[in-house]
Amino acid sequence: MTVAKAFGASVRRKEDPTLLRGAGRYVDDIHLPGMLEAAFVRSPHPHARINGIDVSAARAAPGVHAVLTYADLPDGMREPLEMLQPNPSIQQPFMPHILAKDEVLYTGETVAVVVADSRYRAEDAAALVVVDYEPLPAVADCLKAIEPDAPLTHADGTSNIAARMTLQAGDSDAAFLGAADIYKRRLSLHRGGAFFMECRGVVADWNEVLQTLTVHVATQAPHRLQRALLGLLGFRDNQVRVVAPDIGGGFGPKGPVYSEYIAVCAAAMQLGRPVKWIEDRRENFVATNQERDQSWDMEIAVDAQARILGVRGRLVHDAGAYIPWGVVLPWISAATVPGPYVVPSYKIDIVVALTNKIATTPVRGAGRPQGVLVMERLMDLVARERGLDPAEVRLRNMIRPEQMPYKVGITFRDGRPVTYDSGDYPACQRRALEIAGYGDFPERQAQARRNGRYLGLGISNAVEATGLGPYEGATVRVLTNGKIAVYLGASTQGQSHKTTLAQIAADHFGVDIADVEVTTGDTGMISQGMGTFGARIAVTGGNSVHMAAGEVAGKIKALAAQMLDLPESDLVLRGGRVEVAGLSSEASAKGNISGLGKSLREIAVKSIGQTGFAMPAGSTPGLESTAYFMPEQSAYSNGTHVAEVEVDVETGQVELRRYVVVHDCGRVINPMVVEGQIVGGVAHAIGNALFEQLVYSDDGQPLTTNFGEYMLPLADDVPHIEVHHHETPTPLNPLGVKGAGEGGTIAGIAAVIGAVENALLPFGVRIDEAPITPQRIVALIKAAGGPAARAGYGG
């Protein structure tokens, strides 16, 4: 079966009509009979000891059904949550309790949960819970945290270093000794958040009769939460069903197993009534995992031709108070640095620091935007110091398509060598620069400067590991009404899986995507699942659908051949029927060809079998198949971003004038969907580059806790993003697809930051941080001599 027709077309999304009518079903839209609502009591301190909790007034408040603290949790739930990915480099594997035991480690940590007959009453009562806190010294900045005299983030910690490790390739010491030049940069990136528009939420429903727990939850990874609950409750597998309804964005932080979910399940089981908790936005600012605080001290060694000899340095990663993802983020960051360039030697010492802030786990890009920013800033530094064209420096160092598959020389976190499978990096850069009008940019820039205006252009190249293993399986089934059902374990948060997976399946059966119904994120429908993250579903889930659908199509033909008494080679699946494709001699001999064929409905009924009759020879019951595509390694997407900005040097305001993307994610299932993913990712990058920063006081008190203080990009901040596809199919999976969900963000931050620095060249300003806000731009210009310094460049 070859893929054609629906695959590759910009078909309209199956998801949309329901959502456009306001008829979607998000977790807060679920209302069960007898349902109660929960509110959490959270720590107001970044670090404190809990000397006692008095819940008597809260328990006596009107409409309150339960108040749970650590002491009220069942036995199995008093241990810290399990770390997702342990690693030998982790010396202090701190993980949170479901409700704080005797110490709180960040402002917003869960201390108690109140369950009442409405959220209003639950919040009333939560305010009556009296917690005796003894504040302890706290530390917010990851560099300060690793100083010898820093206060301990955890009272029982030995230091604020959770883990140390080194990632290396080649002999960097020798490379630096033999270098023509060595250039250094210190870069810092700050925290942002996912800020999905729908906050987190859960409805737990305990069935006393069946002894089963059904959890409706806005999660990216239903099976992960199911496994956690099975472990905590000591249940057999069919006692916990986790179902993800429509989800209002995920971007990473809806993936983890959060304390609140477990606490709500505990309350529902204790009360024997459904319990709902919906995170409000204020909670979202202090209790949903964040990402991107990192500090890098880097140096690059180049030869006389500006070719890279080595890159080395130190990365300090801010883990926050706990490390649920182990060392995954800094590892990804460090492994992303080489990107599309030949880096013969490489050494990064990684320090994972504990601070009294919310834990960091992946946010769209998952460590990669930082790695790309580091390398692209180094490229610009080399160009600037050598007086070379930044595009030329990049091109000179680029991996050529004929070098594919290319071994980078470093080890990924799965222990395997990082090996790029395919891609044409120089072609992507050439095309992006051509579209962006790079050739005449110096002239435009000079002209603008003569008029006192400051234009800048930034280039960013990124290579992205996508389609992470081990698998995401899919079941494909032809129903007895003739429709096709596809079940995927991972849930969906806007990525259009219900459309793109239907496109993949539809071609196998020769049906319209309207006849394919995709169900995602339900542990009751498929036994194993991983979840949606790491730009992985098209690769893992897509190929599983492809394999399972191919298998089912084969079964259909075999069974139809028996029913019609014709060879399979004569049959074709078309329009929901098996029909005679061409007339073989055998078929002709039978005569009466017109109307010959069987509907999928008839074949599906036949495939079930009849009591007392043997199954047709060689067949198995039902037209269904479950496949788990298991990639051996990641498929590497890549892209070039070119941003053109104008900076107002008086106010520091940055205007994006133009933004061009040439992106390669292999074969494209639905161009409209891929463009949507990239554009959305770029908007996120623009936020990270210019606006978004979660600010904390020195001792860890969050100072940005609403959308007035934390600025997300708005419709008049984001320009039209020009997206162009460069298709290099990966040889690593049958569909030739690579991931597309994160590339926009990964490359985007560096493009915008590079453009701002380029605009400010006349002032000698260097941008070594993200975000770069108007206040900082004005301060940097002032520190470099002020707007007057531009005088020498005016004419």
* Spatial distance between the Cα atoms of 574 and 579, rounded to a whole number of angstroms: 7
Binding mask 721-750 for other proteins (x = CB under 8 A): x----------------------x------
Beta strand 201-207 with 212-217: parallel, antiparallel or unpaired?
A: antiparallel
Span interacting with other proteins, options 22-30, 178-186, 292-300, 471-479, rule CB under 8 A: 22-30
C-alpha to C-alpha distances, 572 to 506, 554, 557, 599, nearest whole angstrom: 14, 10, 8, 12
CB 372 within 8 A of CB 462: yes
In the chain, the largest separation of any two C-alpha atoms, in whole Å, equals: 96
Span interacting with other proteins, options 151-159, 366-374, 389-397, 701-709, rule CB under 8 A: 701-709
Smallest separation, CB 32 to other proteins (Å): 13
Residue of 435, 563, 605, 672 that binds other proteins (CB under 8 A): 672
Residue of 96, 456, 680, 743 that binds other proteins (CB under 8 A): 680
Span interacting with other proteins, options 171-179, 407-415, 711-719, 778-786, rule CB under 8 A: 711-719
Smallest separation, CB 13 to other proteins (Å): 7
- Residue 494 CA to chain centroid, in angstroms? 12
Q: Where are any strands of DSSP class E within 586-737?
A: 597-599, 624-629, 635-647, 654-664, 721-725
Smallest separation, CB 498 to other proteins (Å): 12
**What are the beta bridge partners of residue 115?**
38, 66
Q: Which of 381, 404, 379 is nearest to 461 (CA)?
A: 379
Q: Among all chains, which residue has been given the structure tokens 């409750």?
A: 233
In the 8-state DSSP scheme, what is residue 152? P
Q: Which is nearer to other proteins, 171 or 512 (CB)?
A: 512
Tokens of 595: 């109307």
For CA atoms 372, 375, 381, 386, the dihedral sign is negative
Q: Which is nearer to other proteins, 27 or 391 (CB)?
A: 27
Q: Which is nearer to other proteins, 289 or 493 (CB)?
A: 493
Smallest separation, CB 282 to other proteins (Å): 8
Smallest separation, CB 493 to other proteins (Å): 6
Amino acid at 404: M
Residue 149 φ then ψ, to 5° = -100, 15
Does residue number 120 form part of the binding site for other proteins (CB under 8 A)? yes
Tokens of 194: 């996912």
Does residue number 26 form part of the binding site for other proteins (CB under 8 A)? yes
Q: Where are any strands of DSSP class E within 362-521?
A: 406-411, 417-420, 454-466, 472-478, 484-488, 516-520
Binding to other proteins (CB under 8 A) within 223-282 occurs at 246-249, 251, 278, 280-282
Smallest separation, CB 722 to other proteins (Å): 8
* Spatial distance between the Cα atoms of 503 and 617, rounded to a whole number of angstroms: 32
* Spatial distance between the Cα atoms of 263 and 72, rounded to a whole number of angstroms: 10
Smallest separation, CB 271 to other proteins (Å): 20
Does residue number 427 form part of the binding site for other proteins (CB under 8 A)? no
In the 8-state DSSP scheme, what is residue 150? P
Smallest separation, CB 172 to other proteins (Å): 39
Tokens of 344: 């013969």
Smallest separation, CB 319 to other proteins (Å): 25
Smallest separation, CB 281 to other proteins (Å): 4
Smallest separation, CB 394 to other proteins (Å): 25
C-alpha to C-alpha distances, 2 to 507, 576, 710, 794, nearest whole angstrom: 8, 17, 49, 61
Smallest separation, CB 56 to other proteins (Å): 22
| Number of continuous H segments (helices) and E segments (strands) in the chain | 20, 29
CB 98 within 8 A of CB 46: no
In the 8-state DSSP scheme, what is residue 239? G
CB 223 within 8 A of CB 489: yes
Span interacting with other proteins, options 128-136, 193-201, 610-618, 759-767, rule CB under 8 A: 193-201
Does residue number 15 form part of the binding site for other proteins (CB under 8 A)? yes
Residue of 1, 8, 9, 28 that binds other proteins (CB under 8 A): 28
CB 480 within 8 A of CB 608: yes
Q: Which is nearer to other proteins, 18 or 620 (CB)?
A: 18
Residue of 4, 17, 56, 567 that binds other proteins (CB under 8 A): 17
For CA atoms 671, 673, 677, 683, the dihedral sign is positive
Span interacting with other proteins, options 421-429, 449-457, 641-649, 712-720, rule CB under 8 A: 712-720
Residue of 209, 617, 715, 788 that binds other proteins (CB under 8 A): 715
Residue 769 φ then ψ, to 5° = -150, 155
Smallest separation, CB 254 to other proteins (Å): 11
In the 8-state DSSP scheme, what is residue 783? H
Residue of 47, 557, 684, 725 that binds other proteins (CB under 8 A): 684
Residue of 581, 706, 731, 791 that binds other proteins (CB under 8 A): 706
Beta strand 103-104 with 48-54: parallel, antiparallel or unpaired?
A: antiparallel
Residue of 9, 572, 718, 789 that binds other proteins (CB under 8 A): 718
Binding mask 276-315 for other proteins (x = CB under 8 A): --x-xxx---------------------------------
Binding to other proteins (CB under 8 A) within 550-609 occurs at none
Smallest separation, CB 703 to other proteins (Å): 16
Smallest separation, CB 716 to other proteins (Å): 4
Binding mask 652-671 for other proteins (x = CB under 8 A): --------------------
Amino acid at 756: V
Residue of 716, 788, 792, 795 that binds other proteins (CB under 8 A): 716
Smallest separation, CB 774 to other proteins (Å): 17
Binding to other proteins (CB under 8 A) within 477-516 occurs at 493-496
Binding to other proteins (CB under 8 A) within 195-214 occurs at 195-199
* Spatial distance between the Cα atoms of 529 and 507, rounded to a whole number of angstroms: 24
Binding mask 346-385 for other proteins (x = CB under 8 A): ----------------------------------------
Q: Which is nearer to other proteins, 153 or 220 (CB)?
A: 220
Q: Which is nearer to other proteins, 423 or 748 (CB)?
A: 748
Determine the straight-line distance between the first and last CA of the chain, rounded to whole angstroms.
65
Does residue number 703 form part of the binding site for other proteins (CB under 8 A)? no
Residue of 323, 679, 756, 760 that binds other proteins (CB under 8 A): 679
User: What contacts 24+ positions apart, CB below 8 Å, involve 5-9?
Assistant: 5/506, 5/507, 6/502, 6/503, 6/504, 6/506, 6/507, 6/512, 6/513, 7/503, 7/504, 7/507, 7/667, 7/669, 7/735, 8/667, 8/668, 8/669, 8/670, 8/671, 9/503, 9/670, 9/671
# residues contacting other proteins (CB under 8 A): 60
Dump the DSSP string for 75-104: GGGSSPPPPSS--TTBS------SS-SSEE
Q: Which is nearer to other proteins, 363 or 547 (CB)?
A: 363
Smallest separation, CB 462 to other proteins (Å): 17
In the 8-state DSSP scheme, what is residue 153? S
Smallest separation, CB 286 to other proteins (Å): 14
Which stretches of the chain bind other proteins, using CB under 8 A?
A: 10, 12-13, 15-17, 19-26, 28-29, 31, 120, 194-199, 246-249, 251, 278, 280-282, 493-496, 672-673, 675-676, 679-684, 706-708, 712-718, 720-721, 744
